[in-house]
Each structure stands twice: as structure tokens, then as C-alpha cells.
Amino acid sequence: MKRLIFSFIFISTLVLIFFIYQSAQRNEIEAKTATDSLLVEESSSKDLGEKNIDLISPPHTDDECEKFIKTLSTSEYENIQNRRWSNVHIKYIDGETYRIRYFYDDGPNGEYQKTILYKEDETEFPHIVKVFKGFEQTELKDYFDRGDIIWQEQAYETSIRGKSIYWRKINDEFVDLNIDEGLSCL
């Protein structure tokens, strides 16, 4: 009986070792295949020619980043169509600080424009005063006309020559510039 139990444990161990070995070989083959496909993609992208590679390569120098900053600062790109959101902090005539946030919110039928008016408490925590559908301007005009803008932040997103570009400005100064996936100039 002891020999039978020992034989069963021995055979089970061999089967387990066999499956572990097979799994390790399979993972090694998959890793090699993935590496080979990356090499094929890299070599085929080298065949595109200098002109196309220039269009898809990220900026590598400060000069290239400066060119993007100069280009993006024009009204052609800094416009309402490319704006993703905007926060405006206003010191109103009543001495209170208000925030007006314009942004796109998710809805059941896609994105829609939304505006929220906040009032800051003594700890500068924002409390919602009113929510508007769309980018409200008429009802909030008095805050802009009679208050002082103390801080303004805006974010934009567009595509130039096939590159996705996202940038953010605070008081008209660039604080964030990302080109394609995670390539940052600032």
C-alpha cells in the first residue's frame, strides 16, 4: 500500500513538472514571436522614408517644443472648438470669490457642454451655486463685467499633422504640453 501511494505521488510530481516545463516553453515562444513582430514593425517603419518619419516622430529638442508652443498660441488653435475645459476664478464686487467652470460632460448620447458656477468658502473650497446646460454666458456676464479675474486655466486638444496634442495654460502661460502619447515638452 505504501508503494502504491509513493508511486502515485511520484507520477503526479512528474506530470506536474512536465506541465510546468511545457508552459515555460510556450511563454518563451510567445515572447520571441512578440519581439520578432516588433522588429518587423520597426524595420517597416524605417522604409517609410524621411518625409513620413518626420511627421510621426515626436519633438526631441527645445526648439521643436518652442515651435509647437508658438503655433498653438494662435487663434487658429486656441479656440472654442479645441477647448476641452476652462476654469475662471473671479473676485466679485461682493468680496466673494466665484469659480466658473466650462467643460464637456459625459451623457447617454455622448459629450455635452456644461457650465458650473461655484462660490468659494473661507477655506477656498468650492460649493456649487448653479449648474447650466451648455456654455452659459448671458446669465454669468455680470460676474465677468463687474468682477476681477484673478486666475484662469484652460485646456485644449487638437491634432496637427497626425499628432494628438493636448496643452494647458494658466493665466496664458503654458504649464502642460503633451504630444501624442505621453511625450511632454514641459
The whole-number pLDDT of residue 156 equals 92
The whole-number pLDDT of residue 4 equals 74
Number of domains in the chain: 2
**Domain annotation covers residue 176:** yes
From 33, 74, 96, 65, select the one nearest 156 (Cα to Cα).
74
74/135 same-domain check: yes
**Domain annotation covers residue 52:** no
The whole-number pLDDT of residue 24 equals 67
The whole-number pLDDT of residue 93 equals 94
**Domain annotation covers residue 56:** no
**Domain annotation covers residue 55:** no
How many Å separate Cα 39 from the centre of its chain?
28
Q: What is the pLDDT along the chain (186 residues), one digit of tens a residue?
A: 777 777 778 787 877 777 777 776 666 555 444 444 433 344 344 343 333 334 344 445 566 778 888 888 888 888 888 899 999 999 999 999 999 999 999 888 889 999 999 999 999 999 999 999 998 889 999 999 999 999 999 999 998 878 888 999 999 899 988 887 666 776
120/37 same-domain check: no
**Domain annotation covers residue 54:** no
Range of the domain at 19: 2-47
Contact by Cβ (8 Å): 179, 163: yes
The whole-number pLDDT of residue 52 equals 36
Phi, psi of 10 (to 5 degrees): -65, -45
The whole-number pLDDT of residue 148 equals 96
The whole-number pLDDT of residue 91 equals 96
The whole-number pLDDT of residue 122 equals 93
Q: How far apart are CA 164 and CA 168, in angstroms?
A: 14
Pairing between β-strand 83-91 and β-strand 97-107 as defined by DSSP bridges: antiparallel
The whole-number pLDDT of residue 153 equals 95
**Domain annotation covers residue 32:** yes
120/36 same-domain check: no
